[in-house]
Amino acid sequence: MLVTFKTEVGNITMFGDVALNMLKMMGHSPTVPGAILAADVPVALSKLKAALDAEKALPPLEDKDEDEGEDKNEPAVSMTDRGAPLVNLLSAAAEADCNVMWEYSR
């Protein structure tokens, strides 16, 4: 499942589980479809940044799975890295004073 965040200034698509987690970090329910009014975007952005900063402060989790063929030397993608495109989109939406909507996509 994919979720696309749409604004007048651009769109981004994220994996569904990551997108739902980001919505929770923004203080919204993980309901899809959904929207944030332009006036509420700066608050959602602030909450998302704070949550991502808190995630960054946590020690990295070690992968306990011993699956064959899995490259353990491959670095994990942090929530901060996964959230960067959404932070950029929300920043642009706040600057342009536009709404943010999200929906499932294919």
pLDDT tier, 67 (very low <50, low <70, confident <90, very high otherwise): low
Domain ranges of the chain: 2-56+78-105
Average the pLDDT over 44-73 and give the result.
74
Rounded to an integer, what distance in angstroms lies between the CA atom of residue 19 and that of residue 51? 14
Tokens linked to 92: 């642009």
Closest by Cα among 11, 2, 14 to 77: 14
What is the spatial distance between Cα 20 and Cα 80, in angstroms, rounded to a whole number?
Answer: 15
What does the pLDDT read at residue 70? 54
pLDDT of residue 50: 96
Q: Which two structure tokens, joined as six digits, stand for 19? A: 């997108």
66, pLDDT greater than 60: no
User: What Cα–Cα distance (Å) separates residue 34 from each residue in 22, 39, 86?
Assistant: 13, 15, 15
Q: Is the pLDDT of residue 69 over 90?
A: no
